[in-house]
């Protein structure tokens, strides 16, 4: 378990595509029941033809960097990007992002893949680099342009977007109180090489997968830090849909008030590796000085990362000049299913 009050988030940013599709539009086009209703999803983001994990990462990271006054980008010495939809099977997304951002050459870097928790794994790695002294600052990104088979239940939730965090040991605005991970071999979701769309085990992805791992990670970190649900201002659980996080929060003793900023899934869908990362951004856009936040990600296959954060006593002053909060990025540019299909299946 990584514990250190002297390291944490220095800045953050997020990016959401401007296009959306309503789940009712998907249902009508497929002459099907609207699976978005029981999933608690009204609409989801759709990447435009010029948007992929690299461009989303650059946009989110640029916002995080621009929010720091006179920040020397050469101090970023670790860059890790988590995604399950990297634009190249063999060629790092990180080198593209680094070049676009103008980062220095002294840079530890890797692309990560662990389904929907690859972004939080990137965050853990960057924090570890800071604690060990191997990097002055780290840049952790979680982003995806999630794929789904046309007509599959996943089509109602799989969306696009991402978030970036600059972490360090100086000018910290959100301190890390602790983080740990759990993992088992639970095949609830997968995609074999060469397959265009992932497969999933339906309801099996609930109890033995999502709920087991999020419960285990939550119980372990609360025990290690001697904390209880009532001591948190906010909680955040991975949002594959609007149903699962509400159920797990209630089961573990968290209130709806503690969750009120973490359920963007209703409007933007499941961002996969960007899901929990963007959810934390929205919480930080609303948090106050000294607020305490529980963050639990989940990745199929399967595992969870748990974090406990605490906003600094001058958090609101540090955030004061931040522009373009994530909620303001959610547009009303709804597209037809025919346009959506062309964008997501590469049809001409």
* Tens digit of each residue's pLDDT (9 = 90 or more) over 50-62: 999 999 999 999 9
What number is the average pLDDT over the span 102-112?
Answer: 97
Domain 174-317 matching CATH 3.40.47.10: the answer reads yes
Pinpoint the residues of the chain covered by CATH 3.40.47.10: 8-173+318-331, 174-317
- Catalytic residue, chosen from 51, 155, 238, 311, is 238
Q: What is the pLDDT of residue 348?
A: 38
Reported as a single tens digit per residue, the pLDDT across 234-282 is: 999 999 999 999 999 999 999 999 999 999 999 999 999 999 999 999 9
Which pLDDT band holds residue 218 (cuts at 50, 70, 90)? very high
Of 289, 296, 305, 315, the closest CA to residue 233 belongs to 289
The arithmetic mean of pLDDT across residues 180-187, rounded, is 92
Q: Which pLDDT score is estimated for 5?
A: 65
pTM, two decimal places: 0.95
Q: Residue 87 — very low, low, confident or very high, per pLDDT cuts 50/70/90?
A: very high
The reply to whether 311 belongs to the active site is: no
Strand positions, DSSP E, 113-209? 137-145, 160-168, 174-186, 189-190, 199-200
Say which range, 10-24, 115-129, 176-190, 236-250, has the weakest mean pLDDT: 176-190
Active site residue 286: no
* Active-site residue, 238 included: yes
The encoded tokens of residue 259 equal: 């969750």
Contact of 218 with 296, CB cutoff 8 Å: yes
**Catalytic residue from among 51, 86, 116, 311:** 116
- Of the residues 25, 84, 213, 235, only one is catalytic, namely 84
pLDDT over threshold 90, residue 339: yes
DSSP letters for 88-129: -SSS-HHHHHHHHHT--S--EEEEE-BTBTHHHHHHHHHHHH
Residue 189 has pLDDT above 70, yes or no: no
Q: Which residues contact 260 (CB under 8 A, 6 or more apart)?
A: none
- What tokens does 166 get? 């600059």
Contact between 141 and 97 under an 8 Å Cβ cutoff? The reply is yes
pLDDT-derived band of residue 203, with 50, 70 and 90 as boundaries?
Answer: low
- Number of Cβ atoms within 10 Å of the Cβ of 339: 13
Decide which of 3.40.50.300, 3.40.47.10, 3.40.50.150, 1.10.287.1080 is the CATH code for 8-173+318-331: 3.40.47.10
- 343 burial level (CB within 10 Å; 0-12, 13-18, 19+): buried
CB 118 within 8 A of CB 297: no
Q: What is d(CA 310, CA 294) in angstroms, rounded to the nearest whole number? A: 9
Q: Which residue has the higher pLDDT, 336 or 202?
A: 336
Span 163-191, mean pLDDT? 92
Of 44, 119, 40, 52, residue with least CA distance to 298: 119
Q: Sorting pLDDT into bands at 50, 70 and 90, what band is 80?
A: very high
């Amino acid at each position: 378990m990584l514990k250190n009050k002297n390291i944490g988030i220095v800045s953050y940013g997020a990016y959401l595509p401007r296009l959306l599709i309503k789940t009712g539009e998907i249902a009508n086009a497929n002459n099907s029941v609207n699976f978005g209703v029981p999933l608690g999803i009204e609409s989801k983001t759709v990447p435009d033809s010029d948007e992929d994990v690299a461009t989303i990462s650059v946009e989110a990271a640029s916002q995080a960097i621009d929010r720091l006054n006179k920040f020397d980008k050469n101090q970023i010495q670790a860059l890790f990007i988590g995604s399950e939809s990297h634009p190249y099977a063999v060629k790092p997304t990180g080198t593209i992002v680094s070049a676009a951002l103008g980062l220095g050459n002294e840079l530890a870097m890797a692309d990560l893949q662990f389904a929907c928790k690859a972004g939080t794994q990137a965050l853990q790695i960057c924090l570890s680099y800071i604690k060990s002294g191997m990097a002055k600052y780290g840049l952790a990104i979680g982003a995806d342009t999630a794929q789904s088979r046309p007509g599959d239940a996943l089509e109602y939730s799989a969306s696009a977007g991402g978030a970036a965090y600059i972490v360090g040991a100086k000018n910290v605005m959100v301190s890390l109180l602790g983080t740990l991970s759990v993992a088992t071999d639970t095949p609830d979701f997968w995609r074999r090489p060469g397959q265009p769309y992932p497969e999933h085990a339906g309801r099996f992805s609930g109890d033995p997968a999502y709920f087991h791992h999020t419960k285990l990670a939550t119980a372990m970190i609360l025990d290690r830090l001697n904390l209880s649900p009532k001591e948190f201002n906010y909680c955040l659980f991975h949002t594959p849909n609007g149903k699962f996080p509400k159920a797990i929060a209630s089961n573990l003793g968290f209130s709806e008030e503690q969750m009120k900023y973490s359920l963007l899934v209703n409007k933007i869908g499941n961002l996969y590796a960007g899901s929990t990362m963007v959810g934390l951004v929205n919480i930080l856009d609303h948090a106050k000085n000294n607020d305490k936040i529980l963050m639990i990600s989940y990745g199929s296959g399967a595992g969870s990362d748990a974090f406990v954060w605490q906003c600094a006593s001058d958090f609101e002053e540090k955030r004061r000049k931040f522009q373009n909060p994530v909620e303001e990025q959610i547009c009303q540019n709804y597209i037809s299913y025919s346009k959506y299909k062309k964008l997501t299946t590469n049809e001409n």
